[in-house]
Chain A
């Protein structure tokens, strides 16, 4: 099998297309690169979808936490504490066990049967956990940014007659985004890295359609040699991280376009580890 044939056979293996059987003997570098790259599709899927939905929820929670009314503030604080104070690993296990407790046959809501079997699949269950988790982390970042909006900016907005929703839309929210963006970039990178945890989360890989780490550990188990598959995963993630930094940097430049270049917030990469 040439390398091109391998790519043709395995490039979308993680989605269930192409060759059904994984290679069992005579592993080539090409196979490892292709299959691990194929698994990376899932990591990108988890990262992108969780980030997009998480962004919306994080905004809502950040404003709820900044609210004066305890009816909004308390739940937001508890939500953030719950997801930031416990390991993502435990959250995955807990969610899996909880979702498994849902009745298999589906729930009857006003005569319509709601299917529940799909919630225990990784694409939905693990995504849900990642979504809530990133929402909590981002909400804390946004809340911090909301509190550090310069007082003068808000007073100037009021002096121009901007109040209520107009003030929020034109001044508060853009400034919050601008201030939060460098930290949010780190959070996004961090989220992509933690998608690797899905492999250990208990959500089973259906028909060997797994993520990057699933295939990497498959190869490591079969060849007893961790020195090839894991560095490949690492390499793929470095490329993914660089892409993400570039994209977030573009958004950052757009958010800061009205400021002189020496005042715009620089994205500093700060290392973070396991959630």
Chain B
């Protein structure tokens, strides 16, 4: 990156370190931090949307919809999350390819699932075998986002369902007495009031989501864990920057990153909780009223 770094073997001390930390692969690692943040930024709203729909379905009057909603929220209970992460990615991948196969190669005669192998026609490969590397990476990332959103959506659905039930019945009855129709009651009374009940659960979920991001590594995305292992491993003299096994320090850096991230999140979420509790008929709101805030 810098001019001085042209010949790394001749460097020493701080210059060596600054050159080492700005080498091309390290820049990739810093980008990977961005990937993690991007995953969080993309996943959180999608998971919330899934959760909202799931909670709505679970509250529905229609039996079929209700069963789907309950099934979705109940799905992740009792089963280790990791199993879902491993299972969903392969299942989604194969499902998408199978649908593409049905669309693009209707006259394909060989069986798709031939004994041990899953084989679709070449045109149905997603992404196509001829696609550039970036497309493959993007597809892997999107698959990861979808998996995260599905699993966390189930949890968010659980939280939101509980929050909707927790809104005092009297509030909804009052709204009905004022002549609001069910849709208006839902939009104007239930949804604005449920957030204060949902927030503790949702903030917990956010912290869990942050801590789940190393699982990107398991989903085959080149994330920070991947780079920490890659860069930290011992490098022989054949490399520009030879060093012994430094993985410990790389993982230490990741640990600090996660600790800082969760700490900042906690502080922000506490502020939001205080803001939302203001004027609400809850214990926290009452305490704030008494304290004169």
A271 nearest CB neighbor, chain B only = B77
Mask: chain B, 248-288; 1 = CB below 8 Å from A; 0 = not:
10011011001100110000000000000000000000000
Interface set, chain B 226-252, CB cutoff 8 A to A: 228-229, 232, 245, 247-248, 251-252
Across-interface contacts of A101 in B (CB, < 8 A):
248
A93 nearest CB neighbor, chain B only = B251
Q: Which of A93, A222, A225, A274 contacts B81 (CB 8 A)?
A: A274
Q: Within 8 Å of chain A (Cβ to Cβ): is B193?
A: no
B208 nearest CB neighbor, chain A only = A273
B256 nearest CB neighbor, chain A only = A86
* Interface size, chain B (Cβ < 8 Å): 45
For the complex, give the distance between the alpha carbons of A230 and B87 in Å. 7
Q: Are B76 and A271 in contact (CB under 8 A)?
A: yes
Q: Within 8 Å of chain A (Cβ to Cβ): is B78?
A: yes
Q: Are A224 and B86 in contact (CB under 8 A)?
A: no
Q: Are B83 and A237 in contact (CB under 8 A)?
A: yes
Q: Which of A81, A197, A227 contacts B82 (CB 8 A)?
A: A197
Across-interface contacts of B228 in A (CB, < 8 A):
93
Q: Within 8 Å of chain B (Cβ to Cβ): is A269?
A: yes
Interface segment, one of B22-30, B175-183, B213-221? B213-221
Q: Within 8 Å of chain A (Cβ to Cβ): is B111?
A: no
Least Cβ–Cβ distance between B69 and chain A, in angstroms: 15
For the complex, give the distance between the alpha carbons of A91 and B251 in Å. 8
Across-interface contacts of B247 in A (CB, < 8 A):
93, 97
Q: Are A233 and B212 in contact (CB under 8 A)?
A: no
Q: Within 8 Å of chain B (Cβ to Cβ): is A69?
A: no
Q: Within 8 Å of chain B (Cβ to Cβ): is A85?
A: yes
Across-interface contacts of A217 in B (CB, < 8 A):
86
For the complex, give the distance between the alpha carbons of A273 and B252 in Å. 23
Q: Within 8 Å of chain B (Cβ to Cβ): is A207?
A: no
Q: Are A89 and B214 in contact (CB under 8 A)?
A: yes
Q: Within 8 Å of chain B (Cβ to Cβ): is A223?
A: yes
For the complex, give the distance between the alpha carbons of A147 and B162 in Å. 26
B218 nearest CB neighbor, chain A only = A200
The verdict on A272 contacting B80 (CB below 8 Å), with A87-B214, A226-B87 known, is no
Which bucket holds chain A's interface residue count? Answer: 35 or more
Across-interface contacts of A238 in B (CB, < 8 A):
78-79
B94 nearest CB neighbor, chain A only = A226
Across-interface contacts of A237 in B (CB, < 8 A):
78-80, 83
B77 nearest CB neighbor, chain A only = A271
Q: Are B258 and A90 in contact (CB under 8 A)?
A: yes
Q: Are A227 and B91 in contact (CB under 8 A)?
A: yes
The verdict on A94 contacting B248 (CB below 8 Å), with A81-B259, A85-B259, A226-B90 known, is yes
Q: Are A86 and B116 in contact (CB under 8 A)?
A: no
Q: Are A275 and B80 in contact (CB under 8 A)?
A: no
Q: Which of A101, A224, A227 has the most CB of B within 10 A?
A: A224
Q: Are B251 and A196 in contact (CB under 8 A)?
A: no
Q: Which of A86, A98, A193 contacts B80 (CB 8 A)?
A: A193
Q: Are A230 and B158 in contact (CB under 8 A)?
A: no
Other A-B pairs, 14, CB within 8 Å; known A94-B251, A238-B78? A85-B262, A89-B225, A90-B255, A98-B248, A193-B80, A213-B86, A225-B113, A226-B90, A230-B83, A230-B86, A237-B79, A237-B83, A272-B208, A273-B152
What are 7 of the A-B contact pairs (CB < 8 Å)? A86-B259, A94-B252, A189-B78, A193-B80, A220-B90, A226-B91, A271-B155
